[in-house]
Structure 1
Amino acid sequence: MDQALPTPAVEAAKKTVLRTAVAVTALQGSVITGLVVWDAIKRRSRSKRPGFPHPGSFHSSIGESNIKLYTFGADLYADMLESIRGAKKQIFIETFIWKNDEAGLQFKDALNEAAERGVEVYIVYDVFANLVVPGSFFTFHPAIHVYRFPMFRPSLLLGTIRSTSLDHRKLLIVDDETGFVGGYNIGSLYATEWRDTHLRVTGTSVWDIRNAFVSVWNRQFPGRNPKIPHTTPGTWESRIRAINNIPASLVYPIRGIYLDAIGRAEKHIYITMAYFIPDQQILRALLEASERGVDVRVILPRDSNHVLSDWLSRGFYRSLLDSGVRILLYRNAMIHAKTATIDGQWSTIGTANIDRLSLTGNYETNLEIHDEAFATNMEDVFDFDSRNSHELTLEEWSTRPWIARFSESVIIPLRPFL
């Protein structure tokens, strides 16, 4: 049977759809260009910001594990470098961004020196995140095992979500005795000019951070590098768990722990997030919590280092404010933390943002901690940061310029990509 030819009406409809798609894409491109230009102008004044108060460091113990909570990069880097320089047997380090500046060179030199004295060193870094860093910077001592998480992979041809992943983790484990995890990348900017949160764990629960590194290295990073022997923790500390998103296996449990904890909340939910673009289920969970009387507060950057993320996030402000969620915009610095604490019992700190890239895209690691003393420390940090934030009111948000509302609406279709 002959195939029917398209009618003129069908052809006209196709052309209309195509023209509409092109027009929408062009409009989105124009809006994004305008936002980037405007942000670049604003950055000139941001460079003169007076600095920001930082809460300091906090200590707590859970069973046989000790935890140090960091809120200032220089303090964290000092302890990380001390651990690397004191290493006797083994170092695992994984980072998303590694700058070729003073801080970055300190870490590189310390790792090379460790390898020189016989310490076995394993390094993972993300190639895409470091495109602006000269490749020569990532030349290490020949004894160091290096996995460069590739920007282009054969699986990209499959077009699946696991193919678009980046290695967004920030881990350091030394001699199976000390482990670090949190939001800090490696670079001088982060040491003193960004507000972030990180943890050091010593004792039994270092195993959880070690296993996060080893399990991915052994199963997901093929090549000439040797496999790392598996160990057991000896003591199972159930109050501290490393939760790992592993795109190659389509495993994304961090989103689940957020949904479970938010659903259980009775008193308060305090979230600090660098990039906040929740999917509909997480957004609904937060709105429902607020509507049932839970005190929901979210600290976000007033101006982050990613202008598109900022504007996509602002598209949720009206719904949050209408439901009674308090939005606190952090001032005078980029706040890059990825933390939450709920009801004085449950907390999480790690590498994952509440957005598509982190929760259903990238390799990520968060620690989930059930402990009242640690939650108290987290609440103290949140309270301190709140005092350096501007609380956005519904009235203020309702009177923003029409051009802002228009820009927010135009870029809404981009949410699933970030």
Structure 2
Amino acid sequence: MTVQRPSLIPVDRLASILRRTLLVFFGVPILLAVVMSLVDAYRSRGRRPKPFPTTPPRTTTVGEGEITTYTFGKDLYADMLAAIEGAQRQILFETYIWKADLTGERFKHALIAAAERGVDVYVIFDSFGNLVVPPRFKRFPSTVKVLRFPVYAAGLRFFDVTRYGRDHRKILVVDDAVGFVGGYNVGSAYASEWRDTHVRITGPGVWDLKRAFADFWNLNRRKRFRSSERPLLLETSSVWEPTIRFHRNVPRLWMFPIRSMYLEAITRASERIYLTTAYFLPDQDFVDALKDAAQRGVDVRILIPLKSNHIVTDWISRGYFSQMLESGVRIFRFTGAMIHAKSATVDGTWVTVGTANIDRLSLTGNYEINVEVIDEAFAAVLEEIFDLDSSNSLELTRNEWEARDVHRKFTEFVLKPLRPLL
């Protein structure tokens, strides 16, 4: 009697099946994402954002300094340019996107003029974020020290994931007197058409911003400058401000404290959490922390754009809505314009404002910086801003979400494999 052995699939056949499976699993979502982006770009041509409510700059005394909050780009840019024009010794300027429009030219001319009158001017911008900016705009006279963070920074270290982070930070420090940080890039559209949040800081906190800039400059300067170019050295202050701390994500050093900062604040919350973000694509642990807070009675509210400038991100983020709504998390969608702010308050005491979105790229990928403030008066200002933004928002109810069309559910399902990439 002959025993037949089960036939084995040849290795090449198995490899072919695996390649086709991966192609379908990732190729279809990527193709759909490209088509959606092209269609959205076509439909958005000539479309102008609607007016939205804003608050005038508000200044709060915090510790030994002050924090001024901005929610309208024109107000912020006016104070930033005034600081640059009044600089006497040093300017440190860093941005992700720097448009070559009227606003961008004003900043460039102000920085060059400061350098020509003897101010020590350092500039950092991300080359990937400015791919579409004309090359002539990115050229500066030798009086301005410029670090162009490269599109590809890994060199021959192709598999070193720590070298693929973008420089997503927005910092301005003038002398030892004043520092600015927040979500605003530089451009005319951001001046009036986007809702964002930025802060101006005086006092000991300015030194932490200076150190953050200098550390990035020195970490990335070696291959961009001649060996004779000296590092950016600072005379550090011995004063520590107990109510203000800066948290910096540094991919090269595998440091991502901003995510931990958020999680600690969320898990300690006992009354309310108000979170505003341009893009909501966290990991499941972050989502679980918000759900757990809501289930223990905390008033958890998340404010996101009804429609952001990245339609695929909008669709992928919706994959979290069902579980959050079921847990009692409230979701508000800002209407009429893009809200690009990255801020949060917890229990009317804890506040963060900065450059990091609540997504994987910001929390575990890019160079980011957020300021953490423990101050009830400052938290009250941010809560008032959240309430005003909520008045221009539509709350998503559980019934509304469950009643969405089948084709919407199918699109969310198809795009789900892209979630870990964003």
Q: Does the residue aligned with 1:316 lie in a helix, a strand or coil? A: helix
How many aligned positions are there? 412
1:3 is matched with: none
1:136 is matched with: 136
Residue pair 1:115, 1:141 contacting (<8 A) in 2 also: no
Instruction: Name the CA distance, whole Å, in 2 between partners of 1:399 and 1:10.
Output: 47
Gaps of 5+ in 1: 1-5
CA separation of 1:245 and 1:11: change in aligned 2, threshold 3 A: same
Residues 321-374 of structure 1 show CA distances to partners (whole Å, capped at 9, x for unaligned) of 111111000011100000010001111000001111111111101000000000
Which of 202, 226, 229 matches 2:230? 226
After TM superposition, give the deviation of residue 11 of structure 1 in Å: 4.6
Q: Name the stretch that deviates more: 102-111 or 234-243.
A: 234-243
- The answer to whether 1:292 aligns with 2:293 is no
Instruction: Name the CA distance, whole Å, in 2 between partners of 1:166 and 1:77.
Output: 24
2:4 is matched with: none
AA partner of residue 68 (structure 1) = T
- The answer to whether 1:19 aligns with 2:20 is yes
Residue pair 2:332, 2:395 contacting (<8 A) in 1 also: yes
* TM-score of the two chains, using structure 2 as the length reference: 0.94
Instruction: Name the CA distance, whole Å, in 1 between partners of 2:112 and 2:289.
Output: 47
- The answer to whether 1:325 aligns with 2:329 is yes
- The answer to whether 1:246 aligns with 2:250 is yes
Residues 293-339 of structure 1 show CA distances to partners (whole Å, capped at 9, x for unaligned) of 00000000111111111111111111111111110000111000000
Q: Name the stretch that deviates more: 405-414 or 21-30.
A: 21-30
AA partner of residue 419 (structure 2) = R
1:57 is matched with: 57
CA separation of 1:63 and 1:307: change in aligned 2, threshold 3 A: same
Instruction: Name the CA distance, whole Å, in 2 between partners of 1:36 and 1:154.
Output: 28
Residue pair 1:156, 1:163 contacting (<8 A) in 2 also: no
Instruction: Name the CA distance, whole Å, in 1 between partners of 2:289 and 2:324.
Output: 11
- The answer to whether 1:113 aligns with 2:117 is no
Residue pair 2:26, 2:417 contacting (<8 A) in 1 also: no
- The answer to whether 1:95 aligns with 2:99 is no
1:72 is matched with: 72
Residue pair 1:116, 1:141 contacting (<8 A) in 2 also: no
Mapping 1:175-254, distance limit 5 Å: 175-222=175-222, 223-224=225-226, 225-254=229-258
CA separation of 1:27 and 1:154: change in aligned 2, threshold 3 A: closer
AA partner of residue 199 (structure 1) = V
Q: Name the stretch that deviates more: 30-39 or 111-120.
A: 30-39
Mapping 1:395-406, distance limit 5 Å: 395-406=399-410
Instruction: Name the CA distance, whole Å, in 1 between partners of 2:341 and 2:366.
Output: 17
Mapping 1:379-390, distance limit 5 Å: 379-390=383-394
Which of 265, 268, 272 matches 1:268? 272
Instruction: Name the CA distance, whole Å, in 2 between partners of 1:344 and 1:275.
Output: 23
After TM superposition, give the deviation of residue 233 of structure 1 in Å: 2.4
Q: Does the residue aligned with 2:308 lie in a helix, a strand or coil? A: coil
Q: Does the residue aligned with 2:125 lie in a helix, a strand or coil? A: strand
Q: Does the residue aligned with 1:8 lie in a helix, a strand or coil? A: coil
Mapping 1:31-46, distance limit 5 Å: 31-44=32-45
Query: Percent of pairs identical after alignment?
Result: 49
Residue pair 2:72, 2:192 contacting (<8 A) in 1 also: yes
Q: Does the residue aligned with 1:98 lie in a helix, a strand or coil? A: coil
After TM superposition, give the deviation of residue 208 of structure 1 in Å: 1.3
CA RMSD of aligned residues (A): 1.6
Instruction: Name the CA distance, whole Å, in 1 between partners of 2:156 and 2:191.
Output: 35
Residues 159-183 of structure 1 show CA distances to partners (whole Å, capped at 9, x for unaligned) of 2221210000000000111100000
Instruction: Name the CA distance, whole Å, in 2 between partners of 1:133 and 1:30.
Output: 27
* TM-score of the two chains, using structure 1 as the length reference: 0.95
After TM superposition, give the deviation of residue 155 of structure 1 in Å: 4.3
Instruction: Name the CA distance, whole Å, in 1 between partners of 2:273 and 2:140.
Output: 44
After TM superposition, give the deviation of residue 413 of structure 1 in Å: 1.4
After TM superposition, give the deviation of residue 156 of structure 1 in Å: 6.0
After TM superposition, give the deviation of residue 414 of structure 1 in Å: 1.2
Residues 138-168 of structure 1 show CA distances to partners (whole Å, capped at 9, x for unaligned) of 1112111110001122446332221210000
AA partner of residue 209 (structure 1) = L
After TM superposition, give the deviation of residue 253 of structure 1 in Å: 0.5
Mapping 1:158-169, distance limit 5 Å: 158-169=158-169
- The answer to whether 1:414 aligns with 2:418 is yes
Instruction: Name the CA distance, whole Å, in 1 between partners of 2:412 and 2:371.
Output: 33
Residue pair 2:169, 2:369 contacting (<8 A) in 1 also: yes
AA partner of residue 213 (structure 2) = F
2:364 is matched with: 360
